[in-house]
Amino acid sequence: MSDREFEGKVAVVTGAGSGIGRAIAVKLAAMGAAVVVNDIHEESGQAAADEIGGLFVHGDLSQREACGTLIKRTVSEYGGLHILVNNAGLQHVEAIETFPEDTWEQMLAVMLTAPFLLTRYAWPTMKGQGWGRVINIASRLATRGALYKSAYVAAKHGVLGLTKVTALEGGQLGITANAICPAFVRTPLMENQIADLARTQGLPAQEVIEKIMLEPCAIKRLIEPEEVAEIVAFLCRDAGSAFSGVPMMIDLGSTAS
């Protein structure tokens, strides 16, 4: 198996300025793919693209125009699009009765509507190639609920449903779709989540990690972003081509019981 087995493939990774998205962009580039980095934060997004020799396309994916621009720019620059990783996300922890309506709308726009739009816009190119991989970074909360995370849980449940329909419609076209559903990954977003939970629960941050996050997990550690990137790479290989419509649970054993 060649270390550069994705040579000639073009990938888009959203939210790739840090965390999971950056690890995925680094992994795909190391395997030979031309990677387009998207992020709302220009400095970190450009730095990630520079690190891997990729193209940075700035954009707020809560806006439909930004989704269209990202796909059009990719196809125009590289002449194709083979791998779409919908990773961009937001987090807000608050009870339903006080959850800000505009925050709800923004979170669903970024984490559910944008994956739909990007998949829709990428579809003609992938269909024409007879080959495509759509990988949605969901969460273990795509299959269950959690206190104070109404928008996040709703979006991730929706993404899992979108993934299944994409898999069904893409199966005869050479397009697969899967959702990676991790538990707690060591990212800046998770650090913000810990701070929010510490505030709402009135606990020190370390107790949030031990008593809320890792308490239901059989494996008592955080997941590293590079572990998620390895699963993305597997799903893009020929060896992963029979996987489609699947929630890939990397949840530290938290849903085993």
Which residues are marked as active site?
152
Mean pLDDT of 208-225: 89
Helix (H, G, I), strand (E, B) or coil at 185: strand
Helix (H, G, I), strand (E, B) or coil at 85: strand
The sheet carrying 132-137 orders its strands as: 55-58, 34-39, 10-13, 83-86, 132-137, 175-182, 247-250
Backbone angles phi, psi at 108, to 5 degrees: -70, -35
With a pLDDT cut of 90, the percent of the chain lying above it is: 81
Question: 56-94: per-residue pLDDT in tens?
Answer: 999 999 999 999 999 999 999 999 999 999 999 998 878
Residue 218 has a CB neighbour count (10 Å cut-off) of: 12
As given in the structure block, the two tokens for residue 206 are 């370390």
Record the pTM.
0.93
Does the pLDDT value for residue 2 go beyond 60? no
Average pLDDT of the chain to the nearest whole number: 95
Q: Say how many residues make up the chain.
A: 257
Residue 198 has a CB neighbour count (10 Å cut-off) of: 18
pLDDT at 3: 79
Residue 193 or 103, more confident: 103
Query: Do the beta carbons of residue 37 and residue 17 sit within 8 Å?
Result: yes
Domains belonging to the chain, first-starting first, are 10-184+222-250 (3.40.50.720)
